[in-house]
Structure 1
Amino acid sequence: MTEHQALLEQRYGAQTKPARMAWNAQIAALLLHRSVRNYLPEALPEGALEAMVAAAQSASTSSNLHQWSVVAVGDPALKARVAELASGRKKDANRFINDAPLVLLWVADLSRSHAITCDGGGDAQVHDYLDAFLMASIDAALAAQNAVVAAESMGLGVVYIGAMRNEAQALAELIHLPRYSFVAFGLVVGKPADLPGKPETVRPRPPQSVVLHHDRYDFQRSMAGLDDYEAEFGKFREHMGSARRSWKESVVHYNRFDYMDGREKLRQAMVERGFNLL
């Protein structure tokens, strides 16, 4: 088996794999992405954070407005409080945040644009609309993913934390965010610790027939491709020592109302932060 075949085997397992793929070192590295939840108690290499931010700033940004920011939290006490807010009713669900040297809080940030517009004689009315909120959120996501690619190229591990939105207003107050900004998600980063009995590996993805459509969306074809994915998903959970559960059962699990764990109040928090979402 060639190196490229091995990478596809990790990502898709026994499912149908792309028959034709362009390859280079960057594509190969992207296929090795995994979520890391066990970290060594080591600081990041010198200059690593700055390299990640430079990569993030090299991502596309709508209209060159740079409507994102990132808060790097390394103070142990502050990091512990961030982990507590992100865990909610699940208590220690994200306790590994305390083990990693940094958690990066990616901020959808209209505060600069709002201040500049008002100071320049504008009324910043556009910031009352959903599109502005979405634009800043997309900017933050594009920037963060570039930072992830940079981090992994340096041998670091990462995991995104959407639960940073559980207590959006409390977190914003904790890190002194200005109005017209909020933490869209977190990113834990550090040196991976592969612990005995806690394997972390590449998580299989569905075949491309589930997500790739040509010219028009084909819902039936997309759903049909999920049958093969169930087998790979089951093998992955068994390897990780997780309870037996199908992927569709997992979808149902993560779409329960109680899983929101505070995020049902997100719109109210956003309005308090200045986003009217019209």
Structure 2
Amino acid sequence: MNKTIETILNHRSIRSFTDERLTKEEVLTLVKSAQAASTSSNVQAYSIIGVTDQDKKAKLAELAGHQPYVENNGHLFVFCADLKRHEYIAQKAGKIHQEALENTEAFLISVIDAALAAQNVSVAAESMGLGICYIGGLRNQLVEVSDLLETPSYVLPLFGLVVGHPANQSSQKERLPIELIYHENTYQQDEAHLDRYLQEYDERMSRYYEKRTNGERKDTWSEQMIRSFSQPKRAYLDDFVKEKGFNRK
């Protein structure tokens, strides 16, 4: 096993950082790592906003659900789906590309490009001894996030990524069994297979939470998912995404 794979397999979310800020060189290295990610047909339909203004970070922490590590970290990146450059190029050439820019495929390309770039940053950061945590909570109040970051039409903030020097190492949370993730040739739909590996995973996760919380919590992954999908989340997003020019057609 090489060091890259060891770094990937050692991943865990870090939510407590020292006061040390990332250097300009470190930030530049991470952004270059993002740009090295695969991108659909070289479209590069994403942008990254680095938030260094402490007042803005504090506001984003509030908007994300009062998460202190959004404010206190080495650097905060916000990854955005971005088709603004593409709209500008078309307009400058006297072309009308709204239908292509606003369809579902363009939306998926921009979201996937941003996610691939962010994961490159994550792996690069962890290889540098830094810790990371994704911040999906920015989508709790995306209208306000967009206003704060002044993102125009065809630019949609998707999630944040905090990076910094870990104040302490958190425990690593076990993932689903490979047997439930990897399928060969066709999708595995056998319910006995599903039940077997879900039960094993639920038992392990229950023990994990019980140990981590000194017995205060011992719910299973299945119970978490039932709660998570008991009602739609962030229902306003469909309208807001379309207002930004994405996924209209």
Q: TM-score, normalised by structure 2?
A: 0.93
Note the C-alpha offset of 1:277.
2.6
Paired residue type of 2:185: D
Note the C-alpha offset of 1:238.
2.3
Paired residue type of 1:29: T
> Which residue in 1 is equivalent to 2:19?
41
**1:186 and 2:160 correspond:** yes
Which runs of structure 2 are paired with 1:1-278 in the superposition (5 Å)? 23-87=1-65, 92=66, 94-124=67-97, 125-194=99-168, 200-220=170-190, 221-241=193-213, 243-257=217-231, 260=233, 263-278=234-249
**Matches of 1:180 and 1:205, distance apart in 2:** 35
Paired residue type of 1:43: R
**Matches of 1:275 and 1:160, distance apart in 2:** 23
1:74·1:101 contact (CA, 8 Å) conserved in 2?
no
CA RMSD of aligned residues (A): 1.5
* Structure 1, 43-52 or 244-253: larger mean CA deviation: 43-52
Paired residue type of 2:120: N
1:71·1:105 contact (CA, 8 Å) conserved in 2?
yes
2:106·2:247 contact (CA, 8 Å) conserved in 1?
no
1:41·1:99 contact (CA, 8 Å) conserved in 2?
yes
Matched residue SS, 1:105: strand
1:133·1:277 contact (CA, 8 Å) conserved in 2?
no
Q: What residue ranges of structure 1 are gaps of 5+ in the alignment?
A: 1-22
**Matches of 1:243 and 1:150, distance apart in 2:** 33
1:35·1:158 contact (CA, 8 Å) conserved in 2?
yes
Structure 1 residues 52 and 223: alpha-carbon distance in aligned structure 2, compared to 1, 3 A threshold: farther
2:206·2:219 contact (CA, 8 Å) conserved in 1?
yes
Q: TM-score, normalised by structure 1?
A: 0.83
Note the C-alpha offset of 1:222.
4.0
Q: What residue ranges of structure 2 are gaps of 5+ in the alignment?
A: none
**Matches of 2:39 and 2:209, distance apart in 1:** 37
Matched residue SS, 2:100: helix
Note the C-alpha offset of 1:223.
4.4
